[in-house]
Amino acid sequence: MGEDNAVDGGVPRISDGIEVYTGADGAVTWSGVELTVDVMRELQAPWAERAGDLTANRDIVTELRSLATTDMETTFIGTLLAAEPEPKDWQYGEALAEVLLEHWHGAVWLWDGARDRRTRKASLPGADLVGLCVADGSATLLFGEVKSSSEVKSPPKVVTGSPDGMIEQLKRLTQVNDHMTLLKWLRHRCRTEEHISAYQTAARRFIHSSGKDFRLFGCLVRDTAPLSTDLSGPAAELAKTVVEPMHALLTAWYLPIAKATWPTYATSGVGDDG
């Protein structure tokens, strides 16, 4: 744990959280990690960047402003910026999961999902997580789902519900139905020779195993007290479907910050577009 991204430099080092429970059932492992206040401080900048694609957005805004030649046009750009919706708390949950998987599990994201938002209520089809898992000099495809929840019930409905609970979604990701779409999406976003090489290594493993050799991640982001029942039962259910060489990892991250305040917390003190 704690290894930086092996392909593109990764995010700043983040102190380890506190692993409060762990378990395994066949090809499925699960763990609960409590994130301390100190860890959350270190996460703040990369979390906000991932959720809002801040650097790219800042460049686009600067370019748009440079195109304005009158006060009226400048005012219109201000209106555009004011009308842009802020990411939702569940989008911050997804962004946090991406940052943590990148830091602790060798995940490589070839694209920031914030760039794919096309509407105010954007929720893109397919897997929440599509990337590569790079470790020990090799790469595998990475597919996954992220759920955020404040529900007191353990496990929360977002994990066990049907048809859109995390476990049911992960089961569907073990099937071939959407794999070609995800493979194409990922390949189109390879921008460097290093990424292309890693993608081809992962795709080769996937093909040689007839679509079975990949990593499946299920991430639960919580603002509640840690309970092993959040994942132990769901993991046993998923283990009925996931078999080697496929491997699945379920992780619950427990935050000391209320879910409703995640957007405010992540962006507080982080520079905006000015």
Q: What are the two backbone dihedrals, phi and then psi, of residue 11, each rounded to the nearest 5 degrees? A: -100, 170
For residue 131, pLDDT over 70 is answered with yes
128/110 Cα distance (integer angstroms): 14
Q: State which amino acid sits at residue 159.
A: V
Report how far apart, in Å, the C-alpha atoms of 133 and of each of 76, 120, 129, 213 are. 43, 31, 11, 12
Query: To which H or E segment does residue 194 belong?
Result: helix 193-208
Ranges 123-127, 145-149, 216-220: which has the least confidence: 123-127
Query: What does DSSP assign to residue 229?
Result: G
For residue 247, pLDDT over 60 is answered with yes
pLDDT digits (tens, 9 = 90+) for 58-104: 778 888 888 888 989 888 888 887 777 778 888 899 999 999 999 88
Q: How many CB atoms lie within 10 A of CB 242?
A: 20
pLDDT digits (tens, 9 = 90+) for 182-222: 999 999 999 999 999 999 999 999 999 999 999 999 999 99
CB of 131 closer than 8 Å to CB of 10: no
Residue range 259-263: mean pLDDT, rounded = 93
Residue 12, both tokens: 């700043």
Quickly tell me which residue has 């496929």 as its tokens. 246
Q: Nearest-CA neighbor of 219 among 46, 89, 36, 97?
A: 97
Confidence of residue 274 (pLDDT cuts 50, 70, 90): very low
Strand partners, 78: none
Residue range 136-159: mean pLDDT, rounded = 96
Q: Nearest-CA neighbor of 128 among 242, 11, 65, 218?
A: 218
For residue 2, pLDDT over 80 is answered with no
93/190 Cα distance (integer angstroms): 25
